[in-house]
């Protein structure tokens, strides 16, 4: 059986992505599932996207959509100048996209359009950027963009009483739909951790690459973890998202 590698939020930290990918014992049929947020943070937003376009041509990849990918896409389409976005890492992406040729820009727009909102594998494991709220699963979400903005799934998993039986009527129905759920979006550095965190059957792989943490990859079968150095140390001249 092939390996399934799950990659957390990158946020323009291409040096960290290359570093951690180099640590993997890669084989030809491995599957790489990227949880989204490729941009907004460190200075290499467009470079990260170019790298992922190349990487996905030579490897089996699932590329998921993060809220920041949607924000950058909206900006690139010239739809709005979102001040909230600019303050949350948008400025760095804007700069990184300044001098791109029309041809490459077109390729990048296609990349953003092709991102998936969620992915369910043959072992009934769900992968998505943020979370979902519908009791029947992410495919039933009334507002489709919930799956890359939601924080309630993670909040619920964190606050769940570990003694509550799955058969209890109060057990959250959302968690019973899938064998495991892999998310990014809410950095675990916020709760003082730097390794992927597991609560109930939810695995949070966002180890704060945009802030003071490393970039992490987890093997979904064995739960082995590989990490870059703290990403901010690879961009000493930059402030990141702070
Ligand atoms: Mn993120």
Q: How many domains does the chain have?
A: 1
Query: How far apart are the CA of 185 and the centre of ligand 1, in A?
Result: 4
Query: How far apart are the CA of 168 and the centre of ligand 1, in A?
Result: 33
Give domain status of residue 239, yes or no. Answer: no
Report the pLDDT value the prediction gives residue 217, as an integer from 0 to 100. Answer: 98
Query: How far apart are the CA of 59 and the centre of ligand 1, in A?
Result: 23
| Candidate from 2-11, 79-88, 114-123 with smallest mean pLDDT | 79-88
- Span 30-58, average pLDDT: 97
102 backbone dihedrals φ, ψ, rounded to 5°: -60, -40
Give domain status of residue 136, yes or no. Answer: yes
Write out pLDDT tens, residues 143-181. Answer: 999 999 999 999 999 999 999 999 999 999 999 999 999
94 backbone dihedrals φ, ψ, rounded to 5°: -55, -45
Taking Cα atoms as reference points, which of 196, 195, 185, 190 lies closest to residue 154? 185
Report the pLDDT value the prediction gives residue 239, as an integer from 0 to 100. Answer: 87
Share of the chain above pLDDT 90, in %: 92
What range defines the domain where residue 155 resides? 4-234
pLDDT exceeds cutoff 80 at 81: no
Give domain status of residue 196, yes or no. Answer: yes
Specify the CATH number for the domain of residue 107.
Answer: 3.60.21.10
Query: How far apart are the CA of 206 and the centre of ligand 1, in A?
Result: 7
Contact 131, 152 (CB under 8 A): yes
Give domain status of residue 224, yes or no. Answer: yes
Give domain status of residue 242, yes or no. Answer: no
Give domain status of residue 82, yes or no. Answer: yes
Query: How far apart are the CA of 115 and the centre of ligand 1, in A?
Result: 15
Query: How far apart are the CA of 69 and the centre of ligand 1, in A?
Result: 9
Report the pLDDT value the prediction gives residue 114, as an integer from 0 to 100. Answer: 98
- Span 189-203, average pLDDT: 96
Give domain status of residue 49, yes or no. Answer: yes
What b-and-e string marks burial along 163-185, b requiring 16 or more CB atoms within 10 Å of the CB?
Answer: eeeeeeeeebebbebbebbbbbb
Query: How far apart are the CA of 91 and the centre of ligand 1, in A?
Result: 15
Query: How far apart are the CA of 89 and the centre of ligand 1, in A?
Result: 10
Q: Could you tell me the two tokens for 16?
A: 């960290």
Query: How far apart are the CA of 126 and the centre of ligand 1, in A?
Result: 18
Report the pLDDT value the prediction gives residue 1, as an integer from 0 to 100. Answer: 81
Query: How far apart are the CA of 167 and the centre of ligand 1, in A?
Result: 33
Query: How far apart are the CA of 187 and the centre of ligand 1, in A?
Result: 7
Query: How far apart are the CA of 136 and the centre of ligand 1, in A?
Result: 25
| Candidate from 89-103, 169-183, 204-218 with smallest mean pLDDT | 89-103
The band of 183, judged by pLDDT with boundaries at 50, 70 and 90, is very high
Query: How far apart are the CA of 165 and the centre of ligand 1, in A?
Result: 32
Write out pLDDT tens, residues 13-31. Answer: 999 999 999 999 988 899 9
Give domain status of residue 240, yes or no. Answer: no
């Amino acid at each position: 059986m092939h390996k399934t590698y799950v990659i957390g939020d990158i946020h323009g930290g291409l040096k960290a992505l290359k570093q951690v990918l180099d640590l993997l014992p890669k084989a030809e049929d491995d599957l790489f599932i990227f949880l989204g947020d490729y941009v907004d943070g460190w200075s290499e937003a467009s470079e990260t996207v170019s790298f992922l376009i190349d990487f996905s041509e030579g490897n089996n990849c699932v590329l998921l959509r993060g809220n920041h990918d949607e924000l950058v896409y909206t900006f690139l389409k010239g739809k709005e100048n979102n001040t909230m976005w600019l303050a949350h890492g948008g400025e760095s992406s804007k700069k990184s996209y300044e001098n791109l040729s029309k041809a490459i820009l077109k390729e990048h727009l296609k990349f953003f359009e092709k991102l998936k909102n969620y992915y369910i594998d043959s072992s009934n494991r769900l992968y998505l950027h943020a979370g979902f709220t519908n009791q029947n699963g992410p495919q039933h979400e009334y507002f489709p963009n919930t799956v890359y903005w939601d924080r309630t799934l993670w909040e619920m998993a964190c606050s769940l009483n570990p003694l509550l039986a799955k058969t209890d009527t109060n057990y959250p129905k959302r968690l019973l739909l899938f064998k495991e759920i892999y998310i990014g979006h809410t950095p675990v550095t916020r709760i003082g951790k730097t390794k992927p965190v597991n609560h109930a059957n939810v695995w949070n792989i966002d180890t704060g690459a945009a802030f003071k943490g490393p970039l992490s990859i987890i093997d979904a079968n064995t739960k082995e973890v590989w990490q870059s150095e703290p990403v901010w140390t690879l961009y000493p001249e930059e402030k990141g998202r702070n």
